Chains A and B, each alone.
Chain A
Amino acid sequence: MAQALNGQLRDFSLPDVLQFILQQRKSGRLTLTFHHQRAEVGISRGNVSHIDVDGRNVETVIRDWLLSCGRMNSEELSGVESVSRSMDRSILETLVAKKFINAEERAEWIGIVAEDLVCDLFQWQEGAYEFNTDLPATSVRGVGINLSTEMISMEGMRRLDEWPRLRDRLGSPNVQISLSQMPASLSELGPESIVLRQLELASAPLNLEELERRVPFGKFRLYDTVVSYADAGYITLRQDGKSFESGIHMPDETDSSRTSSTAFLLVGGALLLVVALLFNWSAGAAIGHLASVPERGFIGAESRFESMKLHTSILRHRFLSGNWPTSLSKASNGLELSRGERGSTLGVEYGYKATPEGYSLWLRDPSPDRMKTKP
């Protein structure tokens, strides 16, 4: 057999593998195995055309559901199956022909069940995969599945992300679900409205496990539907005899809240910079003064050339204007000094003061010295 692709799911997850096959537009059968579980995904030109997980496929799921919800009995099912075998066609087609379900329902259920089965596979984090191009993409009596791999990957990953949240909101599987009110139109709610119909038919509240048997949904779709119907007020959830909310309602995001959050962020950023500046100013003043400028060593080249230049600049200003400059920046008129040149490369600003007798230039504020000489 031609194994086009095989490996472990921990190296390449199922969405990765499906994306790769989609990019190549390949057809064949993707087999996933994990311990005793086995799943087969038929792929036709990159898109999903068949799904079977441990013998459960679209046909068996719909068949079992019809039996469990009482829409047909086992004798009728045997008849349908024998007709399908003899005519070599899908059970679903026979069910439509025998009017157990209508054609629209059939198309809807195929999509829903196939999607749920494939999406459940996304939970497989471990196991092996093997893609075989020699195997047919669909079974002999295919039911006509055609799921976009792109869509199914998106949906599967979304379900993976949202599953913990849903599970937490519903509490335990023993939660009792009862119908509180029927919506005005069930058709607007789509195929998921079957949940409400089943609750209406049931004489007593159902728990999640019982409800799961009565609908052809996967766990995620059922939980998601229950939560949204509970949020909409169609059903009531009870745990140990007490009703509870299915979750905290998220407040609607409004423009004003968005604007205030943005403003909050901007103000926070500005505050951060202001605090940093203040810290720099205070700590820098202390540490800058504490860090003794060594009398020998690093002050050598810097002070020699820098101070000579500064003195030249000050003297030249005096020569040209007749007065001592009032500040170092003014001294630049004498000899051009850039801003960088007016500060020491030691990272400390030079100090300058004009006095009646002349001027003084220093690398540290001389005031502490003066303070010390006071009695």
Chain B
Amino acid sequence: MRRLQPVLGLIVTLAGISNAVTLPPTSLQAGLARAQEQFERFRTQSPNLAAVLAGKPSQSDNLQLELFQVPVSDSASLAMANAAQGLANEKAAVGSGSASILASVQNARNQLGLQWLLVLLQLQNGTPSSFLSQSQGLEASMLEQGWTRLPEVSSWLLTNASQLQADGQVERASVAREVAAKLDPVSPVPEIALFFQSLRAQQWGQGYSHLESAGLRIATYSINQEVIAFNSLRLIRYALALTCLLLLLSWVVRYWPFIVHGYAELLPRDTNLYLRYGILALIPVALLVAGVGLLAMCFLTAFVLWRRAKPYERTMIAAILIFVGLQPWLAGLETTISSRFDQSGPESIFQRSIEEGWSEELGERLDHSLSRANSSEKPILLAAQSILQRKKGQYQDAIQSARQAKVLDPGDPRIVQNLANAFFLVERYDSAAQIYHSLLGQSWNNGPLIYNLGQAIARKGRTDSMGSLIGKATSTARYHIDVVADQNTRSFRTLPPNRTVIDPEPTAEFTWTRVMDDYKSQRWTVDRWDLQTGMLDVPPSMLLPAVGALLLFLIWWGSRQEKRKVLFECRTCGRIMCRHCRKGIHCSNCFRRLSGIEEVDLRNQLLDRIDRESNGRRRILRLTMDLALPGTGRLMAAPSFGAFLQVFLLGTCLAYSLNLSNVLTLYPTSDTLIGQGVAAGILVLLYALGGYQLIRGLGGDASHALKEA
């Protein structure tokens, strides 16, 4: 123990060196947290109004009095008081509270977090109309401040909608989902939720319309494609990895006696051989528990299996090893896509500057990243800075930043378009239109560009230009323009500056070209490549050469003749035996049973019985494997395409159900996990099949084997 103390001390010291990585909430979430604190204060200040908002009994006579007592300087309390008054009026008569709610929206104009809270309270305790009025106010405020989407609010509303649906409040749930789709016009998830709602209501036409919208959202916004690609890539990688592990597992079980018999003979020989095999099976389990990663175990497994494996199994083991060797490259592609979501990465900051209005947190993050940016990252960060300055109303600064960005990277159409947007907002429509025209030659797929060009031409007096431009645009570009136009029509009579132009979102082609360029240049090094080898980590670049060397060694080693045969199979029961435990051509067990019996008939009967017993044992093992991991038993006994398919299906479903719930959501709610039910259903089906095979097997020969065993 004394010798261990320095080691433990070192471990503790090393643990202390590490830094914490705190995860701050988004600015909107922080706003909601502040609003919740404000609401707590509001409870003491105006108890009856707060009770109305919280859905509790209140003295209606005091509401007016409390409303008048709210200090005019306290905009948050005023907003809550007006919202409460509006809610109370709406409950009394539909439509009578909209003026108060509108006043509440005006009071909380710059506090989206507070408006979010009021929307939630209206949904929970108000009427559908009060909820709609409040959420329309939230949408208008968000758009006015330069936000394009509120995924946090939208996902919360979807969760509420699911609960309302479960409680039988179908109408309220439907309204919540529609609002969710409006507050996040980018993600396909709210549209998919509406699609399922339409299916439940048997409104097929509407269902198709929502599904089409979901598809268009995916096609239009490259961020959705990136998320789907990232998740699909990870799913495929995990599914293949799990399938490989299941294959190796079934082979290890099959060849386990061959692998460990020699070691089993070193353990006390007066114990059951199968117990010794079981105890030895704990060694790989312990290695896994100790932290030797699954892929390191793959190497070990390939090594112990190779000599026993049949030619087709060797081919598959080689393929598995190569798959392992390619992990850093596959994970590298994942990393490249993932890096685009990195909160402090330039792409993510640029995306956030488009999606969000200005916030202190985003401003600080941008400044921090700019101070550390290299030459390739700086242009896009300057463009992001320009967008945020524009959203704050600092138009000259925005032009300055946009110019700097264009000087550094004139080849990025987003940067160039942003300069044009900056010109547009200072009414330099000719300059803006000229730049838009120069960019339009590249693509009619760019909705923001076409919309902005149309606006610029219209501002110069040609109002018919927008129609002809939209006529030439692709369907995804048209969808993008329609969304913006609908938002503007719904929320504004006069467009605020932030709504006159659309920020330059990257097109799908541009995004994927950039992703592949980043990948090829290995800009994102693979520090962690997942499914890693654990304690025995191999540097990513060394993994493929290591796999190659291992394969060459295995091929050389496998082709060598064994100098001396050390393991034999009992001729009667098929049990593995060595020189110590065999008795002639039989294992000691069969020898004991057969010795001394010279009568041929009796001997033949005994041989048949031993044969039946060993077949029964093998069948039970196979069925147990099939029950635990459907398909592996079949694969072990009689490999066929069906068995491989079953194992692959199991691997895919397990990968989806067990590993990917965190990242496959697309959205911060669990109930939108796409296809979770389907994956669970397939898993259930596979296990039911395993159970059926077990029952069918036990009903036949295996039942005899069980009795005799």
A, B in one complex: yes
Query: Which chain A residues have a beta carbon within 8 Å of chain B's beta carbons?
Result: 15, 19, 148, 150-151, 153-158, 160-161, 253, 257-258, 261-262, 264-266, 268-269, 272-273, 275-277, 279-280, 282-287, 289-312, 315-316, 318-319, 335-338, 340-341, 344-346, 350-351, 358, 360-369, 371
Given known pairs A153-B585, A272-B283, A275-B286, the reply for A284 and B22 (CB within 8 Å) is no
- Out of B23, B584, B665, which one reaches A310, CB within 8 Å? B23
Closest to B11 in A: A286
Given known pairs A258-B270, A295-B344, A361-B23, the reply for A312 and B339 (CB within 8 Å) is no
List residues of B (619-653) whose CB comes within 8 Å of A's CBs: none
Complex: A341 Cα to B670 Cα, angstroms: 9
Complex: A286 Cα to B18 Cα, angstroms: 9
Of B214-222, B423-431, B495-503, B655-663, the stretch lying at the interface with chain A is B655-663
Given known pairs A279-B291, A358-B33, A361-B22, the reply for A15 and B585 (CB within 8 Å) is yes
Q: Is the CB of A283 within 8 A of B584?
A: no
Q: Is the CB of B663 within 8 A of A305?
A: yes
The answer, yes or no, to whether B66 is at the interface (CB within 8 Å) is no
Contact digits for B1-37, partner A, Cβ 8 Å, 1 yes 0 no: 0000000101100111111111101100100110010
Q: Is the CB of B159 within 8 A of A335?
A: yes
Q: Is the CB of B26 within 8 A of A308?
A: yes
The answer, yes or no, to whether B441 is at the interface (CB within 8 Å) is no
- Out of A155, A157, A161, A273, which one reaches B285, CB within 8 Å? A273
A164 shortest CB reach to chain B, Å: 10
Q: Is the CB of A305 within 8 A of B268?
A: no
- Out of B19, B155, B286, which one reaches A276, CB within 8 Å? B286
Given known pairs A269-B282, A279-B290, A336-B670, the reply for A154 and B22 (CB within 8 Å) is no
A73 shortest CB reach to chain B, Å: 37
Of B68-76, B250-258, B382-390, B590-598, the stretch lying at the interface with chain A is B590-598
Q: Is the CB of B152 within 8 A of A312?
A: yes
Complex: A307 Cα to B663 Cα, angstroms: 11
Q: Is the CB of A286 within 8 A of B582?
A: no
Complex: A214 Cα to B17 Cα, angstroms: 85
Further 18 A-B residue pairs, CB within 8 A, beyond A290-B15, A336-B671: A19-B585, A154-B585, A157-B582, A161-B583, A272-B282, A272-B283, A285-B15, A286-B14, A290-B14, A297-B524, A298-B527, A299-B21, A300-B342, A305-B667, A309-B668, A311-B29, A335-B670, A363-B23
Q: Is the CB of B583 within 8 A of A157?
A: yes
Given known pairs A300-B338, A300-B340, the reply for A276 and B662 (CB within 8 Å) is no
Complex: A153 Cα to B535 Cα, angstroms: 51
Q: Is the CB of B342 within 8 A of A296?
A: yes
Complex: A139 Cα to B594 Cα, angstroms: 31
Given known pairs A154-B586, A272-B282, A305-B665, the reply for A368 and B14 (CB within 8 Å) is no
- Out of A150, A257, A297, which one reaches B603, CB within 8 Å? A150
Complex: A160 Cα to B565 Cα, angstroms: 14
Complex: A296 Cα to B339 Cα, angstroms: 7
Most buried by B among A151, A264, A315, A337: A315
Given known pairs A151-B598, A265-B268, A289-B17, the reply for A282 and B338 (CB within 8 Å) is no
A317 shortest CB reach to chain B, Å: 11
Q: Is the CB of B339 within 8 A of A161?
A: no
Q: Which residues of A contact B666 (CB under 8 A)?
A: 305
Closest to B579 in A: A161
The answer, yes or no, to whether B542 is at the interface (CB within 8 Å) is no
Complex: A304 Cα to B662 Cα, angstroms: 11
- Out of B525, B584, B595, B662, which one reaches A306, CB within 8 Å? B662
Q: Is the CB of A282 within 8 A of B272?
A: no
The answer, yes or no, to whether B343 is at the interface (CB within 8 Å) is yes
10 closest A-B pairs by beta carbon, nearest first, are: A157-B584, A300-B342, A261-B268, A276-B286, A309-B668, A366-B20, A154-B584, A289-B18, A276-B289, A300-B338
Most buried by B among A266, A301, A318, A341: A301
List residues of B (295-339) whose CB comes within 8 Å of A's CBs: 335, 337-339
Q: Is the CB of A309 within 8 A of B341?
A: no
The answer, yes or no, to whether B575 is at the interface (CB within 8 Å) is no
Most buried by A among B8, B17, B25, B579: B25
Q: Which residues of B contact A364 (CB under 8 A)?
A: 18-21
Given known pairs A154-B585, A161-B579, A312-B152, the reply for A363 and B21 (CB within 8 Å) is yes
Most buried by B among A305, A306, A319: A305
Complex: A19 Cα to B666 Cα, angstroms: 66
Complex: A318 Cα to B583 Cα, angstroms: 73
A36 shortest CB reach to chain B, Å: 26
Complex: A285 Cα to B13 Cα, angstroms: 11
Q: Which residues of A contact B598 (CB under 8 A)?
A: 148, 151
Query: Which chain B residues have a beta carbon within 8 Å of chain A's beta carbons?
Result: 8, 10-11, 14-23, 25-26, 29, 32-33, 36, 117, 120, 151-152, 155-156, 159, 227, 230, 267-268, 270-272, 275-276, 278-279, 282-283, 285-287, 289-291, 335, 337-345, 348, 524-528, 535, 571, 579, 582-586, 591, 594-595, 598, 600, 603, 658-659, 661-663, 665-671
- Out of A308, A315, A344, which one reaches B36, CB within 8 Å? A315
Q: Is the CB of B22 within 8 A of A360?
A: yes
Q: Name 7 A/B residue pairs within 8 A (Cβ), A-sorted.
A: A157-B583, A266-B279, A296-B345, A297-B525, A304-B341, A311-B26, A361-B25
Given known pairs A335-B670, A365-B20, A371-B16, the reply for A301 and B29 (CB within 8 Å) is no
Q: Which residues of A contact B584 (CB under 8 A)?
A: 15, 153-158, 160-161
- Out of B230, B595, B659, B669, which one reaches A154, CB within 8 Å? B595
Q: Which residues of A contact B659 (CB under 8 A)?
A: 340, 345
B138 shortest CB reach to chain A, Å: 16
Complex: A335 Cα to B289 Cα, angstroms: 31
Q: Is the CB of B18 within 8 A of A316?
A: no
Q: Which residues of B contact A297 (CB under 8 A)?
A: 335, 338-339, 342, 524-525, 527
Q: Is the CB of B15 within 8 A of A289?
A: yes
Most buried by A among B8, B598, B668: B668
Q: Which residues of B contact A284 (CB under 8 A)?
A: 291
Complex: A286 Cα to B271 Cα, angstroms: 39
B4 shortest CB reach to chain A, Å: 9
Closest to B581 in A: A161
Q: Is the CB of A363 within 8 A of B525?
A: no
Q: Which residues of A contact B285 (CB under 8 A)?
A: 273, 276
Closest to B18 in A: A289
Closest to B591 in A: A154
Q: Is the CB of B671 within 8 A of A315?
A: no
Q: Which residues of B contact A272 (CB under 8 A)?
A: 282-283, 286
Q: Is the CB of A346 within 8 A of B528?
A: yes
Q: Is the CB of A276 within 8 A of B668?
A: no
- Out of B29, B339, B591, B662, which one reaches A341, CB within 8 Å? B662
Given known pairs A286-B11, A341-B662, the reply for A315 and B29 (CB within 8 Å) is yes
- Out of B22, B270, B671, which one reaches A362, CB within 8 Å? B22
Q: Which residues of A contact B665 (CB under 8 A)?
A: 305, 309
Q: Which residues of B contact A344 (CB under 8 A)?
A: 662
Complex: A157 Cα to B23 Cα, angstroms: 71
Complex: A282 Cα to B291 Cα, angstroms: 11
Complex: A258 Cα to B270 Cα, angstroms: 6
Q: Is the CB of A253 within 8 A of B270?
A: yes
Q: Is the CB of B290 within 8 A of A276?
A: yes
B681 shortest CB reach to chain A, Å: 18
Closest to A290 in B: B14
Q: Is the CB of B348 within 8 A of A300?
A: yes
A160 shortest CB reach to chain B, Å: 8
Given known pairs A258-B270, A300-B341, the reply for A312 and B29 (CB within 8 Å) is yes
Q: Which residues of A contact B340 (CB under 8 A)?
A: 300
Q: Is the CB of B11 within 8 A of A295?
A: no
Q: Is the CB of B20 within 8 A of A369?
A: yes
Q: Is the CB of B21 within 8 A of A293?
A: yes
Q: Which residues of A contact B151 (CB under 8 A)?
A: 308
Complex: A221 Cα to B341 Cα, angstroms: 82
Complex: A306 Cα to B668 Cα, angstroms: 7
Q: Is the CB of B26 within 8 A of A261?
A: no
Q: Is the CB of B22 within 8 A of A308?
A: no
